[in-house]
Amino acid sequence: AKSAGGNRFEIADPEADARAITRHGLTNALPAALDRGEFFIEYQPLVHLGDGSVHGAEALVRWCHPQHGVLGPDRFIPLAERTGLIVPLGRWVLQEAVRQARFWSRRHTDGGPLRINVNLSPAQLQHPGLVADTVDVLERSGLEPGALCLEVTESALIGADEDRLKPLRQLAEMGVDIALDDFGTGYSNLANLRRLPVSVLKLDRSFTQGMQRHPADPVDLKIVEGIVSLAHSLELAVTVEGVETAAQAEQLRELGCDTAQGWYYARPGAPDRIHTLVLADAV
Ligand code: C2E
Ligand code: CA
Ligand code: CA
Ligand code: CA
């Protein structure tokens, strides 16, 4: 808070200033961090609501910073977006996650391959190398395109014209799934869904949170029911995020959601945990 009177040029908010310095420092450190291999990926399982079996995993990037410790993506993805470093960083995440998924698929041949979900930021969507890079990563790893799902936020696609959608359409035609992430947080124009090359809706965590109350708000339930039936009529699968309790999982299953992700099943973690979960499934 600004001190009353006195020196008018005093720093208004020392904490905000410190945060800005950290942001600045983190931004400057990003390129070398990528070179030095300071990023790593945690995987969070996606589970079939019907029988609880593992459907796949979402790759979530973290930065093991030499001074600040492990930083979550909310701390550095926006900075990487602003500087353009998100393009090489995103490419690294894709390559690493696909390599991991290929490793899983070698071990688990029955029941189809484990799916891998990778987040794409708006800057990556606009980068001209997206399709070629993705094809390259898939070909080099040997992972089938159908095992990859790219998550794009609703807001990144709002108002996107055909040119902007073209790379996603090309990837979808190759068999890569495109998911609309954080669905329901933007100005979802439901009619607009039809024209997007998406095959999965990821319902934002805010819907799941609304279901935590007992009994859940009947209007919330109606909304989710409506979204699910619309999605299914457009042949989209519905994934729900942020499932933290058995009650939520049950409710969402009854509402017809297909797959789920959340702390109730597992927190994001090291890749061998996914391996263990799938093995446990197989017996
Ligand atoms: P997101 O794509 O919506 O990912 C889901 C976030 O919800 C993750 O946060 C996950 O840890 C968290 N989460 C999962 N289950 C639960 C739950 O049951 N309860 C609660 N409260 N939270 C849960 P995280 O890992 O901090 O990632 C935050 C965001 O950073 C992601 O949101 C995504 O937008 C972005 N992100 C992560 N990795 C990447 C990446 O490789 N590239 C890009 N462009 N963005 C990424
Ligand atoms: Ca996501
Ligand atoms: Ca999400
Ligand atoms: Ca989210």
Close Cβ partners of 71 (under 8 Å, ≥ 6 residues apart): 26, 62, 63, 64, 65
- Does 45 contact ligand 1 (Cβ within 6 A)? no
Tokens of 192: 């607009």
**Ligand 1 atom 3, closest CA:** 182
CA atoms within a 13 Å half-sphere pointing along the CA-CB vector of 74: 0
Mapping DSSP to helix (H, G, I), strand (E, B) and coil, where does residue 278 land? helix
What angle (nearest 5°) sits at the alpha carbon of residue 107, between those of residues 103 and 111? 115
pLDDT, tens digit, 9 for 90 and up, residues 69-108: 999 999 999 999 999 999 999 999 999 999 999 998 876 5
| C-alpha span between 151 and 59 (Å, rounded) | 10
**Ligand 1 atom 10, closest CA:** 268
Which ligand 1 atom is nearest residue 93's CA?
Answer: 41
Question: pLDDT at residue 109 above 60?
Answer: no
**Ligand 1 atom 23, closest CA:** 242
Give distance in angstroms: CA of 176 to centre of ligand 1. 21
- Its pTM stands at 0.92
What average pLDDT does range 18-47 have in this prediction? 93
Give distance in angstroms: CA of 210 to centre of ligand 4. 14
Question: pLDDT at residue 166 above 50?
Answer: yes
Give distance in angstroms: CA of 34 to centre of ligand 3. 24
Give distance in angstroms: CA of 116 to centre of ligand 3. 14
pLDDT, tens digit, 9 for 90 and up, residues 262-272: 999 999 999 99
- Does 133 contact ligand 1 (Cβ within 6 A)? no
What confidence category does residue 1 fall into, taking pLDDT thresholds of 50, 70 and 90? Answer: very low
| C-alpha span between 116 and 95 (Å, rounded) | 11
Which ligand 1 atom is nearest residue 86's CA?
Answer: 44
pLDDT, tens digit, 9 for 90 and up, residues 206-240: 888 877 777 778 888 898 999 999 999 999 999 99
How many CB atoms neighbour CB 134 within 10 A? 25
Give distance in angstroms: CA of 205 to centre of ligand 2. 11
Which ligand 1 atom is nearest residue 60's CA?
Answer: 38
| C-alpha span between 180 and 200 (Å, rounded) | 6
| Cross-strand pairs, 153 | 181
In one-letter notation, the amino acid at residue 21 is I
Give distance in angstroms: CA of 120 to centre of ligand 3. 11
- Does 204 contact ligand 1 (Cβ within 6 A)? no
What confidence category does residue 3 fall into, taking pLDDT thresholds of 50, 70 and 90? Answer: very low
Q: How many residues does the chain have?
A: 283
**Through-space distance between the first and last CA atoms of the chain, rounded to whole angstroms:** 60
Close Cβ partners of 77 (under 8 Å, ≥ 6 residues apart): 61, 86, 121
Burial of 266 (0-12, 13-18, 19+ CB in 10 A): middle
CB-based contacts of 141-146 (< 8 A; 24+ apart in sequence): 141/95, 141/98, 141/99, 141/101, 141/102, 142/102, 143/98, 143/101, 143/102, 143/105, 143/113, 143/116, 144/113, 144/175, 145/171, 145/174, 145/175, 145/176, 146/113, 146/175, 146/176, 146/177
- Does 119 contact ligand 1 (Cβ within 6 A)? yes
